[in-house]
Amino acid sequence: MIALIQRVLEAHVDIAADSGVGRQTVGRIGPGLLALIGVEKGDGPRNMERLAERLLGYRVFPDDSGRMNLGLRDIAGGLLLVPQFTLAADTRSGTRPSFSTAAPPEEARALFDALVARLRGLHPVVETGRFGAEMFVGLINHGPVTFQLDA
């Protein structure tokens, strides 16, 4: 599993409104992490568990000295998880991505849903985008601080 994480002051994800006119917000956080989540072929529960722990503990927030020594748990920040299959693309050759390395949608959805459930059991503020929907993500990146986590 892959997570592209960004330290944010705020972030939200919208989808097209049910009426087809405008957008509706499905997830919103204040200070914390926006995590774009990709699932690759062969990923399973162990990858999901490892990624959950890394998302909560990865030290990207400043301590009193300004050093990145605090994780999401330490600051009690929000976590916005957005499924993004394009992270699992193979981009090593050519000028068009190949999605042969991405997990099939049913498997990816199951692992994403398991990740959300696991994190909601461990952390008080977990919001999500909507799997399979066209989403519109807005954020104020703090730093900017962006890392790719692999699990």
Which of 6, 24, 25, 85 does the annotation list as catalytic? Answer: 85
Query: Is 79 within 8 Å of 125 (Cβ atoms)?
Result: yes
Which of 6, 24, 61, 84 does the annotation list as catalytic? Answer: 84
11-24 burial, b at 16+ Cβ within 10 Å, e below that, comes to bbbbbeeeeeeeee
109's CB contacts (< 8 A; 6+ apart) are: 83, 131, 132
Query: CA angle, 103 as apex, 106 and 150 as ends, to 5°?
Result: 125
Which of 24, 25, 86, 91 does the annotation list as catalytic? Answer: 86
- Annotated active-site residue 147? The verdict is no
- Work out the burial of residue 27: count CB atoms within 10 Å of its CB; fewer than 13 is exposed, 13-18 middle, 19 or more buried: buried
- Annotated active-site residue 85? The verdict is yes
- Annotated active-site residue 101? The verdict is no
- Beta-bridged to residue 133, according to DSSP, are none
User: Which residues are the active-site residues?
Assistant: 84-86
